[in-house]
Amino acid sequence: MAKRSVRSSPLKKIPKVRIVRYPNRPFQLRYDCPVEKRQIRISTGTRDEDEAEQQKAELEAKLLLGISTSSGREKVLGSEMIWSDFREQYRTLHLATVRESTAFHAESRLDLSERILKPKTLGDMADPNALQQLQAKLLAGEQSRRKKPRSHHTVKGYMGCVLAALSWAHLQDWLPVAPKIRKLKTPKMKVMKGRPITENEFEAMLNATVSVVGDVAAESWKHVLRGLWTSALRLDELMHVSWEKSGTIRPVWRNGTFPVLEIPAAMQKNDTEENIPLLPWFEGLLLETPKEKRKGWVFTPLSLQFKVRRKVTQLRPHADWVGKIISRIGKAANIEVEPANERTGSPAKYASAHDLRRSCGERLRNAGVPPLVICRVMRHSSWETTRKHYAPGDVQKDAEVLSSFLIQPRAKEEMAE
């Protein structure tokens, strides 16, 4: 007698399957299971729309017929594990524990490396020859938006991200050794991707604000620009400054003491709660707000929808979007902080929110503030970091300081006459 095939009974109510699209990882198929009373999530292992739609159709057919939707494939852990399985493990076990911006950059760089090498397994990516090929192809500009070679600094960052993921796999005992590759030699060049801007250039940005955001929103955006110019805060930090909200950055005035900024651990790169001196420039800006209005967020740039007279649906924008608008203002003011690179195809860079933070650091240095105090305000672990990234100084000003202490040879000759 022939054996009858066994299958699950069809569901009385067929759940609706939907595709959840992530910008930097494979799409997911999701449906609410009426039997298990929970949401089922299945990774498609791809970011291709057609493949995802095909998998969705197959899943819907299985649900209609009552066929088990589990893949039946046992996940292999080790160098032979499927690369998409490793990416999922790395994402859920490691990247979920780091900062959102760190995870975003890691995902995008692994995505690019994946498109170049097309690895099937973890071992394929960890192969030393494959890593050498990846480095060479990155340098040559493969998968580059501008179809131009990449700089050694850029490729070094990409390879560091890939090697970090593979080293994590080694810690999980999925790879016998942590892969290594000969590091690229990078030229000794300036570290800043931009530069501090002058007071005249800052005034030009203020004057260009209206043309970018419109008359109604202009003053609120100028307030943000002045906040960056006077506070030495990063943009995301400035957008989290409030008068009284817990868990935010707050200015504090106490009798008999100098004012400070209270910065919670969640707002710090080093995850450490810290109080720093409130810069007098920034204090002056804050005190322009009348006491009766010191509630809620300190900086709330208005929507650009006012400019085109459309309905405003979101009153307080995200810091990333605010940064893009400030860069538009820098471009409208024609303040170029880094020239275009013909070799890599990188366009000219115009003044951004971070250039205003750099400007504050340089003005502190020019004012003669001791290096360790500047480090405290900028929240850097060493003066070397501050010097390289935010307060490089001016060689002519350094020469002027030297000449004030030392008599030049020509001056000696004139004195002798």
Q: In the listed set 65, 95, 120, which residue is the last one of a domain according to the structure?
A: 65
Tell me, yes or no, whether 179 lies in a domain.
no
| DSSP category for residue 298 | S
Same domain, 234 and 107: no
CATH number of the domain bearing residue 272? 1.10.443.10
**For residue 167, what are the domain limits?**
83-171
Same domain, 223 and 159: no
Phi, psi of 350 (to 5 degrees): -105, 165
Same domain, 87 and 231: no
Same domain, 219 and 318: yes
Q: Are 186 and 152 within 8 A, CB to CB? A: yes
Q: What is the pLDDT along the chain (417 residues), one digit of tens a residue?
A: 444 444 444 445 678 888 888 766 678 888 887 776 677 777 777 777 888 888 888 888 888 777 665 554 556 778 899 998 899 889 888 988 888 888 888 999 999 999 999 999 999 999 999 999 999 999 999 988 877 888 888 899 999 999 999 999 999 999 999 998 887 776 655 555 788 999 999 999 999 999 999 998 899 999 999 999 999 999 999 999 999 998 899 999 988 889 999 999 887 776 778 888 899 999 999 999 999 999 999 999 988 776 656 666 667 888 889 999 999 999 999 999 888 877 767 788 899 999 999 999 889 888 888 888 888 888 877 766 666 655 555 555 555 655 666 655 554 455 455
Same domain, 239 and 325: yes
Tell me, yes or no, whether 6 lies in a domain.
no
Determine the Cα–Cα distance for residues 67 and 57; give it in Å rounded to an integer.
13
Same domain, 88 and 59: no
Same domain, 243 and 334: yes
Enclosing H/E stretch for 344 = none
| DSSP category for residue 297 | B
Tell me, yes or no, whether 72 lies in a domain.
no
Tell me, yes or no, whether 407 lies in a domain.
no
Determine the Cα–Cα distance for residues 227 and 283; give it in Å rounded to an integer.
10
Closest residue by Cα to residue 113 from 77, 46, 163, 152: 163
Closest residue by Cα to residue 234 from 97, 352, 347, 337: 352
Q: What domain count does the chain have?
A: 3
Same domain, 44 and 104: no
pTM above 0.85, yes or no: no
Same domain, 57 and 139: no
Tell me, yes or no, whether 3 lies in a domain.
no
Same domain, 287 and 220: yes
